[in-house]
Amino acid sequence: MYDYMLGGKDNYAVDRQAIDQLTAHIPAAVPLARANRAFLQRAVRHLADAGVRQFLDLGSGLPTQGNVHEIAREACPDAKVVYVDHDPVVAAHARALLEEEGRVAFVEADLLRPADVLAEVDGFLDLDEPVAVLLVSILHFVQEDPGPMVKVLREAVAPGSHLVLTHAVSGLTGDDREEAAKDVYRGSSTGGATGRTLTEITAFFGDFEPVEPGLVPVGQWRPDTPVLVGDGSLPDYLYAGAARKP
């Protein structure tokens, strides 16, 4: 579904139908998905420029243009990246793409078992050195409380590490469109989507120190081009932020 929203070719009729249903309720779904991807790229570029050399991309999705390792390497040619996803189709595509690449790995695993994921990547990544943990457009697909899982990640990484995330916000449409959108996701292979409040989303960062500008609508996080606040182009349904472990 996400691949279709990004304009990719690796999707099925059922994905396209689900997105057509979704956009009937949330017309901005496709621009928001693209804004999400653009945020991921800006955040990786910012952190690589700031000296982060290791990236753990959880729920990485199908490889597309501007993958994390490509962006990170522009600033830091020796950056190491591990992609993690539980979808076998993603795994097949990622392995095919990454076969020739050094310093990049793909792990087929469930991020709801973070200790197992960390054990698997340990050695390829040096967990005694800072890591950027990316949880971008993934936690709203976790139906149970992701708090304990994110806490395991926060505690495992070294000082100077970062947590980067985007998350759908609940209760913002002010009508029944949010429920209609949830119905579309419930009927899809994602198994469902859950918006959360800004307070709940902020709590995922624990005691990490916010990177400016904090948790903001996705298009407003260190934009490459000026953003006209309130111009109505993107509704504030998806928030983005990054924070650093002290």
**Residues of 107-142 as b/e, b for ≥16 C-beta within 10 angstroms?**
bbbebeebeebbebbeebbebeebbbbbbbbbbbbb
Rule CB under 6 A: say whether 4 interacts with ligand SAM.
no
Rule CB under 6 A: say whether 108 interacts with ligand SAM.
no
Q: Tell me the C-alpha to C-alpha distance, in Å, between residue 165 and each of 57, 141, 204.
A: 10, 13, 9
Rounded CA-CA distance 231/126 in Å is 44
Rule CB under 6 A: say whether 34 interacts with ligand SAM.
no
Q: Which is nearer to ligand SAM, 65 or 233 (CB)?
A: 65
Q: Which is nearer to ligand SAM, 116 or 209 (CB)?
A: 116
Q: Which is nearer to ligand SAM, 96 or 209 (CB)?
A: 96
Q: Which is nearer to ligand SAM, 52 or 68 (CB)?
A: 68
In terms of DSSP bridges, do strands 209-210 and 104-108 run parallel, antiparallel, or are they unpaired?
unpaired
- Among 85, 114, 181, 215, interactor with ligand SAM by CB under 6 A: 85
Rounded CA-CA distance 189/179 in Å is 17
What's the one-letter identity of residue 51? Answer: G
- Among 112, 115, 119, 158, interactor with ligand SAM by CB under 6 A: 112
- Among 94, 111, 125, 132, interactor with ligand SAM by CB under 6 A: 111
User: What count of other Cβ atoms lies within 10 Å of the Cβ of residue 216?
Assistant: 17
Rule CB under 6 A: say whether 3 interacts with ligand SAM.
no
Binding residues vs ligand SAM (CB under 6 A): 2, 36-37, 40, 59-61, 84-87, 90, 110-112, 136-138, 141
